[in-house]
């Protein structure tokens, strides 16, 4: 069983999520500040209303400059990205689909005690050679929903840079990832039997929740469920086995996280409902995933 051991490092900032009303049009706003992209050179990182922006070129885990210093004092057998974890967990069925290509690199790491060990680095899956129309829509609406949801809040609820619960390792001054004002990366050590596994992931947002174990803040992920043939008052699509697998492991490897699910009518490009799912709802006792 995969068990959480400790959080090694948190960087960047996590924006607040507030519930979106239904029937919001799910399109990228014309205002460039709202686009899920990095601002142009010279622009302020955060305006009066904090907006989510995708950081520039976050490196793969095998090239992440923060991971090697962490491994010097926290020996791990495997370092893996959250994207690779999702792909591996979403392997099921008679043909063990869906299929993917994942780079795997083995490096020799010297610990602070001078001991040398081999560590397996598993990067995120490579881009597929071809994507269906539905897959392209999924990528687009996931990004739009995250941008709209993070923009709905006005505060940075968790600033990992100032909280400093975990000492930062020393890295070269020219190392990337120094500016994560609207993004974040967390590095957690897990155990799987005798294996020590370091997983890197990001948190989409936080919301106030007195029942949460994480300082009364609930970590949330933002995903969309595409309704390709939705009619007003009609039934919504069932959750697929693939979606169950991806959503469950996404929530599991983040601290006490819930999933914010936006159902999107693709024909009208509108968010028809917003639901909050915990892990028990994502994967109930009786479900198709085995």
233-283 pLDDT per residue, tens: 667 788 888 888 889 999 999 877 899 998 888 888 888 888 889 888 887
Closest CA to 242 of 277, 287, 289: 289
pTM confidence score: 0.80
- pLDDT for position 36: 39
pLDDT tens per residue across span 98-151: 678 999 999 999 888 888 999 999 999 998 888 888 888 898 888 888 877 776
Q: How far apart are CA 288 and CA 90, in angstroms?
A: 13
Closest CA to 61 of 187, 164, 168: 187
Closest CA to 202 of 218, 184, 188: 184
Confidence of residue 209 (pLDDT cuts 50, 70, 90): confident
Q: How far apart are CA 196 and CA 229, in angstroms?
A: 45
Q: Going edge to edge, which strands form the sheet with 270-277?
A: 24-25, 270-277, 258-265, 217-227, 205-208
């Amino acid at each position: 069983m995969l068990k959480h051991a400790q959080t090694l490092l948190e960087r960047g900032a996590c924006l607040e999520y507030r519930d979106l009303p239904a029937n919001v049009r799910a399109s990228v706003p014309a205002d460039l500040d709202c686009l899920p992209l990095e601002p142009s050179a010279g622009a302020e990182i955060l305006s009066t209303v904090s907006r989510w922006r995708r950081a520039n070129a976050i490196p793969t885990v095998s090239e992440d400059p923060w991971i090697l210093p962490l491994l010097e004092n926290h020996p791990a057998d495997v370092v893996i990205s959250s994207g690779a974890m999702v792909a591996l967990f979403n392997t099921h069925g008679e043909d063990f689909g869906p299929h993917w290509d994942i780079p795997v690199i083995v490096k020799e790491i010297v610990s602070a005690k001078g001991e040398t060990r081999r560590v397996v680095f598993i990067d995120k899956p490579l881009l597929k050679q071809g994507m269906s129309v539905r897959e392209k829509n999924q990528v687009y609406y996931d990004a739009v929903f995250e941008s709209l949801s993070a923009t709905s809040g006005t505060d940075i609820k968790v600033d990992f840079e100032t909280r400093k619960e975990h000492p930062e390792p020393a890295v070269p001054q020219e190392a990337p990832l120094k500016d994560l004002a609207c993004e974040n990366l967390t590095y957690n050590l897990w155990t799987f039997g005798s294996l020590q596994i370091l997983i890197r992931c990001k948190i989409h947002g936080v919301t106030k929740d007195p029942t949460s174990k994480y300082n009364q803040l609930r970590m949330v992920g933002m995903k969309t469920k595409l309704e390709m043939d939705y009619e007003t008052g009609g039934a919504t699509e069932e959750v697929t086995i693939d979606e169950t697998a991806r959503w469950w492991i996404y929530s599991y490897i983040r601290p006490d996280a819930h999933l914010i699910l936006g159902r999107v009518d693709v024909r009208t490009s509108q968010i028809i409902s917003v639901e909050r799912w915990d892990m028990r709802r994502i994967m109930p006792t009786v479900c198709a995933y085995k």
